[in-house]
Structure 1
């Protein structure tokens, strides 16, 4: 009997100790949950999900190759020249459709340039330097730009349309190269948008030339 009482006493003490440990663990777990809840009060996304999303985002951002970098480094100055040409139209163009198209080009290409600059920063790659633009498809020479700056009215409208068609064709060529050789999903998607939008604008400018 003494032996049985001793055994029961040890069992009872063990159960109490186990319960105490369980309570302690529960208390710790509750504290951790409360802290996690406190830290995540500003967001409805669970911490684990947020971490996974951030990791996936970082992975996507890091997924790029040399073609993606070249696309951004070349398209940025290409876009900037198109915006410069479009700005000339505000004071020199006579045709309302040319003015409207120029405004549309600037509104689309300015933000696209900023997006591509953001990619280069995220990828740790240099921004395009001043001399990078001369070998790009469709880029205007300094002589072309000076001639466009010196034109006004109907003469400007015709030169603008002819030069911008050539400029757009160059951008389309680079966009197609990116779509076939790039690795970054966002860069390839933008290249597709550029190709589609500029093909449409070329068709519009060709119609304008036909009636000028």
Structure 2
């Protein structure tokens, strides 16, 4: 089980490095678009994770922090999506 978790974490680190490399090589409007897309995905994961923690965590302090994070991430995600659309990046 620990080996599978280690492999998953290594894969996630490699994906993050690749994404950062791609973002680092971008500039101008392309940078803004890629940053927004990266952060929208990141916030979606944070929202899902904080939902789990706010309902499953044993310690009340962690549940409370997760609930606040959930709220903050939703608000920030909405702002990112709004800019993405306003600036003509969104495909929706």
TM over 0.5: yes
Residue in structure 2 matched with residue 161 of structure 1 by the alignment: 36
Q: Which runs of 5+ in 2 are unaligned?
A: 1-5, 88-92
Q: How does 1:1-212 map to 2 (within 5 A)?
A: 132=9, 134=11, 141-212=16-87
Give CA-to-partner distance per residue, 1:135-176, whole Å, 9 cap, x none.
5xxxx5322111011111211111111110100110111111
Instruction: Give the length in aligned residue pairs.
Output: 80
Q: Normalised by the size of structure 2, how large is the TM-score?
A: 0.76
Distance 1:179 1:207 in 2: 26
Q: Which runs of 5+ in 1 are unaligned?
A: 1-128
Report deviation, 1:211. Answer: 1.7
Q: Normalised by the size of structure 1, how large is the TM-score?
A: 0.35
